[in-house]
């Protein structure tokens, strides 16, 4: 299986490929899961390097979480 060096901790041949994985975002009190992401993960330090399309979707979801934190009055809609 193809491996690559970790960009974070510098260990050689330690990142492995993953596809279509759900990645959890844990941001203070808020959590979200971003489905079907692809990229590389380091076995040594757990650093994840997402593919460009996956990274964009991950950051979009993160942004939404941050915005919802900045609008506390909208956090708990009365449904
Ligand atoms: Zn690493």
Secondary-structure class of domain 3-72 per CATH: alpha beta
Report pTM.
0.75
**Where do the domains of the chain lie?**
3-72
- Measured CA to CA, the distance from residue 5 to residue 13 in angstroms comes to 5
Q: Are strands 3-4 and 48-50 parallel, antiparallel or unpaired?
A: unpaired
Ligand 1 centre to CA of 41 (Å) is 8
Q: What's 5-70 look like in SS3? A: CCCCCCCCCCEEEEEEEEEEEEECCEEEEEEEEEEEEECCCCCEEECHHHHHHHHHHHHHHHHHHH
pLDDT tens, 21-47? 999 998 878 899 999 999 999 999 999
Beta-carbon neighbours within 5 Å of ion ligand 1: 6, 8-9, 42, 44-45, 47
What pLDDT, on the 0 to 100 scale, is given for residue 78? 59
């Amino acid at each position: 299986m193809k491996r690559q060096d970790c960009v974070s901790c510098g260990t050689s041949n330690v990142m492995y490929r993953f596809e279509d994985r759900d990645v959890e975002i844990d941001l203070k009190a808020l959590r979200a899961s971003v489905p079907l992401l692809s990229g590389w993960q380091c076995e040594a330090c757990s650093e994840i390097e997402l593919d460009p399309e996956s990274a964009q979707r991950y950051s979009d979801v993160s942004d939404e979480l941050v915005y919802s934190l900045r609008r506390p009055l909208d956090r708990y809609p009365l449904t």
